[in-house]
Amino acid sequence: MNPIFANPMNLLAQGTGYVFPNERGELQWSILIVLYPYITGLVAGAFILASLVRVFKAEAVRPTYRLALLTALAFLICAPLPLVAHLGHPERAIQIMMTPHLTSAMAIFGFVYAWYLMAVLLLEVYFDYRKDMVLAAEKSGPIMKVFFTVCTLGVKDLSHKALEFDEKAGRFLTVIGIPSAVLLHGYVGFIFGSLKGNPWWSSVLMPLIFLLSAIVSGIAMVFLIYMISTWYRRQKIDMRCANAIGRYLMFALIFDLTLEALDIVHRMYEAGEWFDVLHLVSSGYMYYTLFIVQLFLGGIVPLVALAVLQAAKVSDVVKTRYYLVMSTLVLIGVFAMRWNVVIGGQLFSKTLRGLTTYRLQMVGHEGLIAFMIILLLPFFILWFLTAILPPWDKPDQEPALT
Amino acid sequence: MRKEDQPTETSPSADQGMTRADFLTATGKSVVLLMAGAAGYASWNSLTSRLAQRKLTPIRGYPSSPWYSMAVDITACIGCGKCVDACCAENDVPAEHFRTWVERYIVKKDGEVVIDSPNGGKDGFTDTVPEDQISKAFFMPKLCNHCDESPCIQVCPVGATFLSPEGVVLIDYEYCIGCGYCIQACPYGSRFWNPNKHTADKCTLCYHRITKGQLPACVEVCPVKARIFGNLADPDSPISKFCRENPVMTLKPQLRTGAKVVYKGLSKEVV
């Protein structure tokens, strides 16, 4: 029996060849660090989808605009959690902000994060929801009235001029937000791509691949949440919107897969000193996660299905089901991509002559339970956000100002 | 009559030539252009002259003295593991982690290379390959290379790891947040996760000893003097003399880490 299946928790019992004595223990970065780029990618991708409406006037996907914003916010709030939970001294985490070492890619995270959360997302949500919050404050009971009034920062002006300003400010923030989202996730790719000591990570394509897969995963996540929440609310899915998102997802997948293929082809052709060990890793355990899950199930299958759905004459129900399955596959595929980068990059020794072992823990601060909690937390936050700031377009109500 | 056809005060007629406003505008534009050109020329000149002054020195000199490092004589090492043992005892290194370790390379007659380092070489080595199959074998002591362009220092997000004034790469254990980025960045496997301190850890060249004029523990105990410690910036130091008299080489020079630990007798099999 394949040892991988014999003991599922001992995921990568390889340990062959020669590894440095200091590499024989646990891997330095485990499943939480897989989660970190996954979550930031969802943030960046969801925001890019929102910006399609606001900046690029993609009116078809307007029903998901606010949902995308709130999704980005919910995931952004949780983005630092896996990082902090992983630290040996979480109580010292603030030092990254207080005394950043400016040559470190990781040190810049605090600033990129703070900028994106404070200067872009929160402000954009504020300007987009200010009118709703003022109206909600008028209708609410005493506690919620105070809550909404605080959220409006006391600006209750609903004149045409004030609403026009909200709209302009929101659009301006989206324009700033696009490069910020690109920066946020491109930078995450740079954390890995800039390490010359690790041939699996060291690639100038890494930030771009991270960015494209972020866009893919963000679109897929908002798409999935949109479909499930619409079904849960017993509303009808706007098929014009669903088809448009399906089309965007397809285009993003084309770019993403092209870059990933380019990366693999380039590595195979260049075949440097690291070739043998990388070949061994990617034809062993990583064969499943890289070629089967990431590239085939998470890339090629959804791409072909989405392309066929563009032309096929099938009922809306069938289409929706396909979209649901394909979005899920894309999300699993992008998670596999993060896994293959983070875990895959540590599965071989720096001797380039041996393979290491990854043991997935169940409990502990880097275990499966911690992972599940941090993964599910954004959904609870999103649920809370949609409860206080409903992102759904009401049929009898026009959008704030268009 | 359309608006455009109406003569205005400022519009020049053919026989009027250039108006004062036109003249001032043209002069202004010329001055701006000239100034931009002059500024561009000056910047270009300054850039090219600065570039001309910058020489690409093949190897830079030592920034200060002392500038400590270690040389290892692979041809002398007998693989007894005393250095590893002394290091672990001196620096309270957790079990199964190593600030220094010894690797054994056995090149078989069929070309296969067998590499091992059981318990970091701390307990010595036992025979694993029959003697008649061995083409050559050697021991390879390893430690932190105390790089001048160290990737671990570059990536530390809080500056907890740094190059001391003596050229030793150190960690401030009270400031390290334990992110592990430096361990990922070190191409030599010299850094490890200290499970007791919950921080990164590594060789300090026995900084607490060398700053008192003593030798690092591993150098002190080596029975065959395979490890030579000293001040690279002092031409009369043992390490300078050793480097002068022997061809020496660093590990993975292609990575441009500025590794300071040098090896005599480095073979192509070494990883």
Angle at A16 between CA A15 and CA A19, to 5 degrees: 75
A195, B271: Cβ pair inside 8 Å? no
Q: Copy the structure tokens of residue B102.
A: 């010894």
Mutation site for B-interface testing, chosen from A18, A22, A187, A188 by largest number of B Cβ within 10 Å: A22
Q: Which of A159-163, A277-281, B121-125 has the lowest mean pLDDT?
A: A277-281
pLDDT digits (tens, 9 = 90+) for A70-93: 999 999 999 999 999 999 999 999
Sorted by where each starts, the structural domains of chain A and their CATH numbers stand as 26-388 (1.20.1630.10)
Q: What is the mean pLDDT of residues A266-292?
A: 90
Contacts A100 to B, Cβ<8 Å = 157-158
Does A390 or A9 have the greater pLDDT score?
A390
User: Chain A residue closest to B199 (CA)?
Assistant: A88
pLDDT of residue A182: 86
Is B96 near chain A, with CB under 8 Å? yes
Mean pLDDT of B198-221: 98
Asked whether the predicted pLDDT for residue B145 surpasses 80, the reply is yes
Residues of B in contact with A276 (CB under 8 A): none
Distance from chain centroid for Cα A325: 18
- B 237-266 → A contacts, CB under 8 A: 255
The whole-number pLDDT of residue A117 equals 86
B179/A350 CB distance under 8 A: no
Task: Taking residues B157-166, report their average pLDDT.
Answer: 96
Nearest to A196 among B159, B255, B271 (CB): B255
For the stretch A15-44, pLDDT in tens is: 568 999 999 888 999 999 999 999 999 999
pLDDT of res. B3: 45
Distance from CA of B53 to the nearest CA of A (A): 26
- Of the pLDDT bands very low, low, confident and very high (cuts 50, 70, 90), residue A150 is very high
| pLDDT at A4 > cutoff 90 | no
CB contact under 8 A, A25 and B97: yes
pLDDT, chain A, mean: 90
Q: What is the ipTM of this complex?
A: 0.89
User: In the A/B pair of chains, how many CB contacts fall below 8 A?
Assistant: 124
Local confidence band at B233 (pLDDT 50, 70, 90 cut-offs): very high
CB A144 within 8 A of CB A134: no
pLDDT band at residue B17, thresholds of 50, 70 and 90? low
More confident residue, A261 or A312: A261
How large is the average pLDDT for residues B12-29? 75
Considering only residues 193 to 232 of chain B, which have any Cβ-Cβ distance to chain A shorter than 8 Å? 193, 197-199
pLDDT digits (tens, 9 = 90+) for B98-144: 999 999 999 999 999 999 999 999 999 999 999 999 999 999 999 99
Of A106, A196, A352, the CB nearest to B157: A106
pLDDT at A294: 96
Contact B158 A107 (CB under 8 A): yes
Q: Does B10 score more than 70 pLDDT? A: no
Mean pLDDT value across residues A283-302: 93
Confidence of residue A402 (pLDDT cuts 50, 70, 90): very low
- Residues of chain A with Cβ-Cβ distance to B178 below 8 Å are 87-89, 92
Q: How confident is the model at residue A3 (pLDDT cuts 50, 70, 90)?
A: very low
pLDDT band at residue B15, thresholds of 50, 70 and 90?
A: low
Is the entire prediction scored with pTM above 0.90?
A: no
Q: Cβ contact (<8 Å) for B193 and A26? A: yes
Of A28, A104, A349, the CB nearest to B180: A28
Question: A135-139, A372-376, B77-81, B167-171: lowest mean pLDDT where?
Answer: A135-139
pLDDT of residue B9: 47
Q: What pLDDT shows up at residue A10?
A: 42
Specify the pLDDT at position A17: 85
So what's the pLDDT on residue B50?
76
Q: Is A351 on the interface with B (CB under 8 A)?
A: yes
Touching B: A residues 18-47, CB under 8 Å:
18-26, 28-29
pLDDT at position B235, please? 96
CA–CA dist B241, A287 (Å, integer): 52
Distance CA A318, CA A42 (A): 26
Q: Is B192 on the interface with A (CB under 8 A)?
A: yes
Nearest to A18 among B153, B186, B271 (CB): B271
CA distance A96 to B158: 5
* DSSP for A80-120, written as a single string: HHHHHHH-S-GGGTTHHHHS--TT-TGGGHHHHHHIIIIII
Domains of chain B: 68-264 (3.30.70.20)
Other CB atoms within 10 Å distance of the CB of residue B14: 5
Residue-wise pLDDT for A196-235, tens only, equals 999 999 999 999 999 999 999 999 999 999 999 999 999 9
- Of A16-25, B63-72, B76-85, B182-191, give the lowest mean pLDDT range: A16-25
- Mean per-residue pLDDT, B83-99: 97
B184 contacts A195? CB cut-off 8 A: yes
Q: What is the mean pLDDT of chain B?
A: 91
Q: How would DSSP label each residue in chain B?
A: --GGGS--SSSPPGGG---HHHHHHHHHHHHHHHHHHHHHHHHHHHHHHHHHH----SS---SSS--EEEEEETTT-----HHHHHHHHHHTPPTT--SEEEEEEEEETTS-EEEE-GGGGTT-----S-GGGEEEEEEEEEE----TT-HHHHH-TTS-EEE-TTS-EEE-TTT-----HHHHH-TTS--EEETTTTEEE---SSHHHHTTTPPPHHHHH-TT--EEEEETT-TTSHHHHHHHHS-EE-SSGGG------EEES--TT--
Which H or E run includes A261? helix A239-270
- What are residue B142's phi and psi, to 5 degrees? -130, 155
Cβ–Cβ < 8 Å for A58, A52: yes
Inter-chain residue contact B120 with A21, CB threshold 8 Å? yes
Length of chain B measured in residues: 271
Angle between helices A160-193 and A206-232 (to 10 degrees): 130
Which whole number is the average pLDDT over A169-173? 93
CA distances from B190 to A21, A305, B142 (A): 9, 48, 8
Q: For tokens 């500056």, name the residue.
A: B159
Of B97, B151, B183, the CB nearest to A196: B151
